[in-house]
């Protein structure tokens, strides 16, 4: 996942990658017994960070 900052707009747009991390996400596709929907995302880990994921990673995942 990349943290990108862009300036201006349209044909003058310039984007710069500020930071990037590798994220591993575990998904459980088994169905819940009360409804027929899958369980979904169980957990996510930033593999390139030892302490914790940056806020932009958490914010992006929460928007999905």
Does some domain include residue 61?
Answer: yes
Q: What is the pTM of this model?
A: 0.56
pLDDT confidence band for 17 (50 / 70 / 90): very high
Q: Give the mean pLDDT of the chain.
A: 80
- Is there a domain that residue 7 lies in? no
Range of the domain at 32: 23-64
The answer to whether residue 33 scores a pLDDT higher than 70 is no
Q: Establish if 50 belongs to a structural domain.
A: yes
What is the distance between the alpha carbons of residues 1 and 21, in angstroms, rounded to a whole number? 5
Looking at the structure of the chain, the number of domains it has is 1
pLDDT at 61 over 80: no
**pLDDT mean over 29-51:** 74
Residue 10, in any domain of the structure: no
Note whether residue 32 is domain-resident: yes
């Amino acid at each position: 996942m990349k943290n990108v900052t862009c300036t201006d707009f349209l044909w003058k747009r310039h984007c710069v990658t500020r930071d990037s991390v590798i994220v591993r996400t575990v998904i459980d596709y088994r169905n819940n017994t009360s409804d027929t929907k899958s369980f979904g995302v169980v957990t996510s880990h930033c593999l390139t960070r030892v302490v914790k994921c940056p806020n932009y990673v958490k914010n992006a995942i929460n928007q999905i």
